[in-house]
Structure 1
C-alpha cells in the first residue's frame, strides 16, 4: 500500500505543478468591458507612468512615457505607429517607435528597433497580451530578455500594464505602467 500512496502523492504534486504553470489566457477576458480596440485607444496622445521592480519587488527605476500614436490602413490591414519618448528618474531618456499591424481580428504583430524579431499580441475583451524579446542595454552590455506583457483597459481613458521580464525562464523583474489617454 505504501508504494501506491507514494505514487498517488507524486501524481497530485505533478498535477499541482502543471496547474500552477498554466497561466492566464487572453480569451478568459473576452466578456470584460470596456472592450479594448487597440487602434482606438492608441490614437493621439497618451501619457504613461511606470516603475520597474526587481524580482524581490524593490523599485529600481521610475519613468514617464509620452506616446504619440496614429493608425492607417495599408494593404487592407490596420497599421499603427506608437512613438514613445521615455524619461527615467535618473534623467536618462530613451526613444522607441513601435510599428503594429493587425494581422487578423484580435491578433497583432509589433516591431521596434530594440525588439528581437517580432512581438506577438492577442486581444479579447478588455485585455491584450504581448510576448516578445527585447534587446536591453545594461551597463554597456546588451541582454536579450523575454517579456510577457499584459494590458487591461480599465476605463476608456485608463489602461494598466503589467509585464514580467525573464531570461532563461528566470524572473528578472516586473514593469508596471498606467496609461492615460488625453
Structure 2
C-alpha cells in the first residue's frame, strides 16, 4: 500500500543496497530491493534517510541513490572539477561510437562473442537527458554530474561514504562497507 502523498525522488541502484536503522554501522536492517522507488527525506553527510512507498524508512549511502530526473541538485552543491559539459559529452559520444563499431562487427560476423567482450571491456558511459537537464557519468572521477547546459555540478560519487561530524549527545558515526568496518 502506498503512503498518501508519496512522491519518489530516487530509486535504489539496480543491484539493491544495504540499509541501516541509523546513519552508522551499529544497526543494520533489511537491504533495499533493486530499483525500489524511495523518497529522500534527509541527508547527513553522505548518508541519506529514505522513505519507501509503504511508509518504511531506513538510512543508506545516499550518494548511490539514482535520482528521478525531476529535481536537479540545488545551486549550493559543490561544482565539479569540469565545469563545462562539452568534454564529458564528447567522451560519451566517442565511447558510444566505439561500442557501436564493435556491435556492427559482431552482428556482421567479424567478431566472435569473446572478441566482442575483450573489445568492449572497460567502456562505460552514463547519460540521461531530460529537456534542459543532463546527468552525465564522469568515468575519470567516478561520479555523476548534473548539467543545466552551462555548467556541471557533482551529484553523486562512487567514493566510500565519509563519517558525519559528531552530533553533541550522540556517538560519532562510523562508516562501513558491506564487508565490515
TM-score using structure 2 length: 0.25
TM-score using structure 1 length: 0.25
